Amino acid sequence: MNRIMSDKKAIGVFLLPGTAVYLFVVMIPVVWSVVYSLFEGAPGIRFQFRGLGGYLQLFSDRQFLSSLVITLKYCVTVSAFQMILGLSLAFLFTYGITRFRTLARTITFLPVVLPIVAVGQLFSKIYDIAPTYGLVNSLLELFGLEEYICAWIGLPQTALPALCVQDVWMTMGFYAIILYAGLVDVPANLVEAGRIDGAHGLTLARYITLPLMRPVIGTALIYSLSSTLKVFSSVLALTAGGPAKSTYTLSLYMYDTAFNFNKYGYGSVIGVFIMAECVVIVAVVNRIVNRKEQA
Amino acid sequence: MKVKTLKMIPFKILVALVLVIVLFPIFWMVAASFKAPLEFTTKPIYALPDGFYLKNYVDAWTIGNMSVFYKNSIIITASALVFVVVFAAMISFGLVKLRWKGSGLCMLMFSMGIVIPVQMVLIPLFTIYNKTGIINTKFCLVLTYIGFHMSLAIYLFAGYIRSVPDEILEAAVMDGCSVYTMFLKVIVPMMKSAAATVLVVSFFAIWNDLIFSMTFVSSTAHKTLQTGLLYFQNEFGNKEWGPIFAAITMVIVPTIAVYIVLNKKVIKGMTEGAVKG
């Protein structure tokens, strides 16, 4: 048995083909990204070593700072709604309805599987104002709320909120399902004990259910923050960063820097920064969740 | 009991409202894809279509090149899926059941892939593909998808393979199985359900991908549905809503179809992957 299971040739046969692809597509590029970030220009065209210069440049780069602020605004808003709506829906599906629970969850999850580009195109029509009113504006007209009619994704003030609405619509079902699973796992006898002690409604949630759900909320929050920090496709599909760069997130800036301005080195700096941002946030949230658990 | 049922009515209305908010935009778009050009300008946008104006679909399919994009997406997604499943199954077996030093470290390397953002590999991959001349081909996309989606597949497979008791493998060896026949005759049949999960999760990830496909492929002949749809408006202009709605509907139909048939597997697979990541 041991001889067969540690056959060197067999190990090679099972591992080499896939591992080769993985190294080529994932591991080597990750290392290269870090190496690129220490250089200036593009490979082949004046590619010069400049050490950490690129990282220092970030702090005086106005576009970078403004993109960072936009990304953080987007991240905080969307994550907050994902958590609040996700939790509300989880509670609603558990305690609010007695029948069609599975159907309700299945429908709420549906937008999660839709292609982001299709959702972006759909919402750009929902928000449209010319040549014809989109869904939102024509409904506002129907209800006599003409003063609110505007170019939702054509104005810098409304474009970011409009983007957030789209992405919350698309992802809330995902968080509802994760948190629902966590809610169902809360031991029924503890909830019952709380009821006997006189807790109900919000008090029950505040002192019994939510504290017991801390690990799953932590997991959901980490996933939510790290995916909103990286946001790219949904912005590109809805607003492409506009108008007046009001939705120009870090990923879009990275993309333009590398592929439209041919600054691969600086683009990689931004890429590494995005990755580092995610790692830090995951570590911080993990820390908070675990510490409170011990206390 | 009566009072309790009454109390629950507001919650029921709330649930109904949520479902309407989720479904209405999709329904509205599918309905609007059957509208004739005049209907868009003479009637409010929320009105139902007068009939089934199928020319929108014909236009999107032919003038809008959706037929080409469709073919490309199917070829690329199908080829990538085959290799993701085969490679990931082999690697998981090799890491979990075969005995060698460094298998733990190797597993760690693969799990890292689950959290590595696209942004960290995009620029180097572009230069590599550019240098080797495989940029702007279907092949470079397939290769990227295999590598990038393998990690999650390995994680899902490894969980199943771990639960296969060693005694079964030992019995197979007693019966004269080599390590290869053991994999094919014992392990593979037991992984059907895991393979289905891997397939649906990877299907959505690959079919819906935009960032890789728009970066690596620029010619219409190789574009996927997502890239095609992103630039679709340039082809028809902002005024023609019918063909755009038809194109969006065509793009989302396969994902909705897979979801309707396999929704339990999809939900389980996607949330499991996220909880790990």
Domain boundaries, chain A: 58-294
Which chain B positions have a beta carbon within 8 Å of A21's beta carbon?
Answer: 83, 87, 143, 146-147, 150
pLDDT of residue B160 exceeding 60, the answer is: yes
Q: With an 8 Å Cβ cutoff, is A7 touching chain B?
A: yes
Q: What is the largest CA-CA distance in chain A?
A: 80
Contact A97 B119 (CB under 8 A): no
What SS3 state is found at A47?
strand
Distance CA A95, CA B167 (A): 45
Q: Which residues of chain A have pLDDT under 70?
A: 1, 292-295
Which CATH code for domain B55-276? 1.10.3720.10
Separation in Å, CA of B248 to nearest CA in chain A: 5
**Which residues on A lie below 8 Å from B84 (Cβ)?**
none
- The answer to whether the CB atoms of A259 and B267 lie below 8 A apart is no
Q: Is A11 on the interface with B (CB under 8 A)?
A: yes
- Three-class DSSP category at A46: strand
User: What's the pLDDT score for residue B238?
Assistant: 66
* A268 in reach of chain B (CB within 8 A): yes
**In this predicted structure, which of A192-206, B213-227, B250-264 has the lowest mean pLDDT?**
A192-206
Mean pLDDT, range B210-218, rounded to an integer: 93
A93-100 long-range Cβ contacts below 8 angstroms, 24+ apart: A93/A176, A93/A180, A93/B15, A94/A180, A94/A183, A94/A184, A95/B11, A96/B8, A96/B11, A96/B12, A96/B14, A96/B15, A97/B8, A97/B11, A97/B12, A97/B15, A98/B8
Q: Which two tokens stand for residue B129?
A: 């593909």
Q: How confident is the model at residue B143 (pLDDT cuts 50, 70, 90)?
A: very high
Nearest to A121 among B88, B248, B271 (CB): B248
Determine contact, residues A140/B274, Cβ cutoff 8 Å. Answer: no
Cβ(A123)–Cβ(B245) under 8 Å? no
B186-196 pLDDT tens trace: 999 999 989 99
Contact (CB, 8 A) for A105 and A180: yes
Residue with the larger pLDDT of the pair B82 and B277:
B82
Which member of B12, B110, B271 has the closest CB to residue A181? B271
Report the relative pairing of strands A45-49 and A39-42 from DSSP bridges. antiparallel
On the question of a cis peptide bond just before residue A211, with omega within 30 degrees of 0, the verdict is no
Chain B hits for A125, Cβ within 8 Å? 29, 32, 241, 244-245
Mean pLDDT of B40-60: 81
Mean pLDDT within B52-78: 89
Structural contact between residues A112 and A170, judged by C-beta atoms closer than 8 angstroms: yes
Contact A7/B95 with Cβ under 8 angstroms?
no
What distance in Å separates the CA atoms of residue A15 and residue B95, rounded to the nearest whole number? 8
Q: Using an 8 Å Cβ cutoff, are B80 and B145 in contact?
A: yes
Residues in B closer than 8 angstroms to A251, CB to CB, are: 119
Q: How many CB atoms lie within 10 A of CB B104?
A: 10
Alpha carbon distance A254, B119 (integer Å) = 8
Cβ partners under 8 Å of residue A121, min gap 6: A237, B229, B230, B232, B233, B244, B248
What is the distance between the alpha carbons of residues B86 and B94, in angstroms, rounded to a whole number? 12
Domain A58-294 - what CATH class? mainly alpha
The answer to whether A121 contacts B244, with C-beta atoms less than 8 Å apart, is: yes
- Read off the pLDDT band of B237 (50, 70, 90): low
Mean pLDDT of chain B: 89
User: Residue A104: CB partners within 8 Å, gap ≥ 6?
Assistant: A93, A97, B15, B18, B19
Strand residues in chain A grouped as ranges (E): 39-42, 45-49
CA pair distance B277, B274, nearest whole angstrom: 5
Query: Quick check: A3 and B95 in contact, CB under 8 A?
Result: no
Rounded CA Rg of chain A: 24
* pLDDT score, position B177: 87
**ipTM exceeds 0.85, yes or no:** yes
Spatial contact of B149 and B77, defined as CB atoms under 8 Å apart: no
d(CA A171, CA A109): 8
Average pLDDT for residues B198-222, to the nearest whole number? Answer: 92
pLDDT at A1: 64
For position B17, what pLDDT does the model report? Answer: 93
CA distance B124 to chain A (A): 5
Residue A100's Cβ-count burial label (10 Å; 0-12, 13-18, 19+) is middle
